Amino acid sequence: MRITRRAEFSASHVCCQPSLTLEQNRELYGAAANPSGHGHNYILEVTLEGEPDPVTGMIFDLKKLKDIIQQSVIEPMDHRFLNFEVPPFDKVVPTVENVAAEIWERLRAKIDGGGARLENVRLYETDDLYVDYTGDPS
Ligand SMILES: [Zn+2]
């Protein structure tokens, strides 16, 4: 069985690969490469997989899940400029793909265990664009 909790945060970013020129970055990322940055209202959906505990009826303590998401993702990222304030995005381009992978890494160790595992991180950057990340296959 799977259960999903949703959370939202707002953050700004610049899509810029430091090893490329501004011109190359503009070609790759378009207006998203503008050095002044721009913001998104990100929507995060965290899905856990497991069997409901026979006593509690829950896959995972949902209050605990909310606290983990709050402490690991929302507090450090909400109302931040990702490139300047949230490592590793001083070195890693904060595309929606890379932000989802970073969120996965932050959540996985805190969730896996006790019969539940992190199954998917879905991150919406806009209404019509999201990624699903289920971990590094290697
Ligand atoms: Zn953007």
The whole-number pLDDT of residue 18 equals 87
Task: Give me the pLDDT at residue 136, please.
Answer: 82
* 45 alpha carbon – ligand 1 mean position (Å): 18
pLDDT tens string, the chain, 138 residues long: the values are 999 999 999 999 999 998 999 999 999 999 999 999 999 999 999 999 999 999 999 999 999 999 999 999 999 999 999 999 999 999 999 999 999 999 999 999 899 877 899 999 999 999 999 999 999 877
Number of neighbours of residue 25 by Cβ within 10 angstroms: 21
- Is residue 36 left, alpha or beta, with left meaning phi > 0 and alpha meaning psi from -120 to 50? alpha
Q: How far is the CA of 50 from the centre of ligand 1 (A)?
A: 34
Residues 134 and 91: their CA atoms lie apart, in Å, by 23
Question: Cα-flanking dihedrals φ and ψ of residue 97, to 5°?
Answer: -65, -50
DSSP H or E stretch at residue 46: strand 38-50
Q: What is the value of pTM for the model shown?
A: 0.94
13 CA from centroid of ligand 1 (Å): 6
